[in-house]
Structure 1
Amino acid sequence: MTTHTLLLPVPAVASPAATAAGAATRRSVTGSVHSWDLSTGVDGPGTRFVTFLSGCPLDCLYCHNPDTKRMRNGRRSSAEEIVAEAAKYRDFIRAAGGGATLSGGEPLLQPVMAGELLHRWKHELGLHTALDTSGFLGSRATGSLLNDTDLVLLDIKSWDRDLYRRVTGRPLQPTLDFARRLADLGKQVWVRFVLVPGLTDPEDNVAGVAAFTASLGNVSRVDVLPFHKLGAAKYEALGQRFPLTDTPSPTPAQVAAARAIFAAEGLSAV
């Protein structure tokens, strides 16, 4: 779903020491971090420094990062380490019109670490910030965390309530509540919808997501993401079976039809 140019584990070495003034006031925040990478694609505009936090309360059938589901699968890392790593690429990222994105897993499962990273990326490095979330834990996003977030990448996985629970194991309503909260704040949002043949692709399901998205008034883009099986090898490595191993990827015509439904609501769908 995303074109990654580099994927590296969280560095094991300590980051450079902060300045004396900063060290005197900076709190020490740590979290469970799976990895980081530099990417272009659907992680926000331009080239992005993307940090993947470990842990997710959803159990999506088509999850392509099953290795990020459990916090224990990550490494205990400090915000200082991650910010220092991002700083190495700051000039390049800014020249490329990019920024820093917090992903997972589900970043809001670790709201303190998430808030610290977004704040320091924005105010110390001067980077555009994005939060990639399902919205299920949107109530954990504080006002200050959202103030430090320039863009929210919000996954709306289904409109049909029963189907949403089947796909994720969780109810849809918290995501809708968070979406409305973001709309009330006027926060820029990109909605992301994964098109899975035989699962999320019924026309009325896509139309429901489209109509709700259009009603918000703060969504500048919709990414219709074709289902793929690129994460299947990760399930095998974990000794698990990929739940949708027999499901095909959608055809270009099916993707175009879904995008047309969003476009009919006046949305920019890609």
Structure 2
Amino acid sequence: MCKALAIAHLLALPLLAQAHRSFLVPSSTVLSPTAHQWVSIDAARGNDLFFFNHNALPLEGLQIISPAGAAVEPAKLERFRYKAVFEWQLTAPGTWRAAVVNDGLRVQWQDNGQPKRWNGPAADFAQSVPANAENLSVNEVASRVETFVTMGKPSPLTPSGKGLEVRYDTHPNDLVKGEPATLTFLQDGQPAPKLKVSIHPGAARYRDGTQQMNLVTDEQGRLQIHWPSAGLYWISAATKVAATFPQAKQKTLSYAATLEVLP
């Protein structure tokens, strides 16, 4: 977790439970292997993909992972009304991952008839929610929102084995219009069969129709995508599983990524 943000524990709501989509938009996804390369990431939530018209994405779960698998702190991070922005210098060739990862609870209850809510880590539940809370509703959430930037030659990406995520059998920075790409969705490190996946091209506000693609993974969790055009795409999936926290009704796992498809 970014040290500068460790004072807060707010969780981004899971994608199934909110109308607004969470996304990261990199200034570049592919860079030449020269010195002093930098990348900036815009982080936001909104109905229109890759437009900043709702609010900034909370970055308490921000992770920047180098090609060697090391965690890196952003050189600068600013939060504005409609988006947050962070940047870092790419100091080594290969593929870098920027992700906002959260795992915790979403809680609602009533206090003298007034609705109350709290989002945070399970460890803080007892001190944050009254023991005698009325109409208590507890749900576990685990979300991942990510994007990828490659300097020079792409390098392999290793899944964490936690929550809902993707193993990119076709590298995420090697996507080309008209060429098929294979992705394998994983749930806690294991293939996620029959998972519904949505794929949205950006800039929908300038088109008649969203051109959304709705696909389903096979028995091995695999999905093959044929990109109809170049540009930015947002892929997302979510599923519900049994809760591990005693008071929770269920656990929602969600995944979203911004990918660039080249001409």
Q: TM above 0.5, one fold?
A: no
Query: TM-score w.r.t. structure 2 length?
Result: 0.31
Instruction: Return the structure number with greater relative CO, CA threshold 8 A, min gap 6.
Output: 2
Query: TM-score w.r.t. structure 1 length?
Result: 0.31
Higher strand proportion (structure 1 or 2) = 2
Higher helix proportion (structure 1 or 2) = 1
